[in-house]
Amino acid sequence: GTRTEKNAQALVAQRGSEYRYFVKEHEGKPLYVVTFGNFANRAAALAAIKTLPAALQSGKPWARSFASVQKEMRK
């Protein structure tokens, strides 16, 4: 995630259509959360993390269920 929407937009534009972002509130401020892909199960999502470029892996990405992302978006 990033605190600036322009950073999220730039990452999505640079990386391609499998990347998306949404905004949520964190500690009273907007946080722009970038997501990648749609996977059949958690194991597949965890395996995909290992294929991300090193620059993205350094951000310590984690696997989330679609339901948890939807819940965040509704808040």
Tell me what pLDDT residue 69 has: 84
Round to whole Å and give the CA distance between 10 and 55. 14
Percent of the chain past pLDDT 70, that is, above it, reads 100
Q: From CA 71, how far away is CA 4, in angstroms rounded?
A: 21
The domain tally of the chain equals: 1
Q: Give the per-residue pLDDT at 28.
A: 92
3-state secondary structure 7-70: HHHHHHHHHCCCEEEEEEEECCEEEEEEEECCCCCHHHHHHHHCCCCHHHHCCCCCCCCHHHHH
With respect to residue 46, please indicate whether it lies within any of the assigned structural domains: yes
Averaged pLDDT for residues 69-75: 82
Range of the domain at 28: 5-68
**Predicted TM-score of the model (pTM):** 0.81
Q: The CATH number of the domain where 19 resides is what? A: 3.30.70.1070
Domain annotation covers residue 74: no
- The verdict on residue 32 lying in a domain is yes
Q: What is the pLDDT of residues 2-34, one digit of tens each?
A: 999 999 999 999 999 899 999 999 999 999 999
